[in-house]
């Protein structure tokens, strides 16, 4: 029995973002892409099409979900069907989420044991939890005791992102690694 296309929406802590979860993989696990403006088709055919929906301000693509951030002046009821239609049609047409011109941005190479421990906690504990809320965090560096992170998807611009950084991520990293003095979004 063919169940066909499956997708459902999930609220995120950011009232301007909704996570659309698909019943299939869009990109390889561990790969994600955040767009705050329309990319070229060659970079992300799916994101380019989603930005054609009036009111879409951000697109975050991860393994099996797309998080859409709307302009604050637009109601979800005005754009939700357009978002669903674009995702559904793109999947039906075999349009890839990420195109041949997409380049994975790697975190800076730093093979110190301390940075490896930070990355391990981020990758195995923090990122899966953040992904459940439609976002991602990317390690950007560790300088002078401060872990620098890039907030993506629903985390970008979320009213509770500061609390997530300070009370969640920072607390966990400081508990496990005394050399960590704090975290900062960059």
* Radius of gyration of the chain measured on its C-alpha atoms: 17
**Calpha distance 38→109 (Å, rounded):** 29
Q: Which of 96, 101, 105 is nearest to 45 (CA)?
A: 96
The pLDDT score that the predictor gives to residue 107 is 53
Strand 65-70 relative to strand 56-62, pairing: antiparallel
Chain centroid to Cα 136, Å, comes to 4
- pLDDT at residue 136, as a whole number: 87
H/E stretch holding 89 reads helix 76-92
Mean pLDDT across the stretch 63-78? 94
Give the highest mean pLDDT range of 11-25, 129-143, 145-159. Answer: 11-25
Q: Band the pLDDT of 104: cuts 50, 70, 90.
A: confident
| Burial state string for 147-185 with b = 16 or more CB within 10 A and e = fewer than 16 | bbbbbbbbbbbbebbeebbeebbbebbbeebeebeebeb
Domains defined along the chain, listed by start: 7-92 (3.30.1370.70), 113-185 (3.30.300.130)
Contact 90, 7 (CB under 8 A): no
Tens-digit pLDDT profile for residues 138-156 = 888 898 888 998 888 877 7
pLDDT at 127 over 70: yes
What pLDDT, on the 0 to 100 scale, is given for residue 1? 40
Calpha distance 68→60 (Å, rounded)? 7
Is 50 exceeded by the pLDDT of residue 178? yes
* pLDDT in the model for residue 2: 47
Inform me whether the pLDDT recorded for 21 exceeds 60: yes
Q: Residue 88: which H helix or E strand, with range?
A: helix 76-92
**Of 3-7, 28-32, 86-90, 106-110, the least confident:** 106-110
Mean pLDDT of the chain: 88
* 54 has a pLDDT exceeding 80: yes
Regarding pTM above 0.85, the answer is no
Task: Read off the pLDDT of residues 158-175 as tens digits, 9 standing for 90 and up.
Answer: 767 777 777 788 889 988
């Amino acid at each position: 029995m063919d169940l066909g296309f499956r997708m459902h929406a999930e609220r995120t802590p950011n009232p301007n973002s909704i996570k659309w979860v698909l019943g299939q993989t869009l990109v390889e696990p561990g790969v994600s892409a955040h767009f705050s403006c329309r990319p070229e088709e060659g970079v992300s055919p799916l994101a380019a099409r989603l930005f054609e929906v009036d009111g879409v301000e951000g697109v975050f693509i991860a393994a099996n979900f797309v998080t859409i951030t709307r302009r604050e002046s637009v109601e979800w009821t005005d754009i939700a069907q357009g978002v669903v239609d674009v995702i559904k049609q793109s999947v039906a047409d075999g349009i890839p989420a990420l195109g041949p011109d997409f380049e994975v941005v790697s975190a800076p190479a730093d093979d110190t044991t301390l940075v490896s421990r930070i990355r391990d906690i981020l990758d195995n504990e923090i990122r899966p939890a953040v992904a459940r809320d439609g976002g991602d965090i990317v390690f950007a560096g560790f300088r002078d005791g401060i872990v620098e992170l890039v907030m993506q998807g629903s985390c970008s611009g979320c009213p509770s992102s500061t609390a997530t950084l300070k009370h969640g991520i920072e607390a966990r990293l400081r508990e496990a690694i005394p050399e960590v003095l704090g975290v900062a979004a960059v």
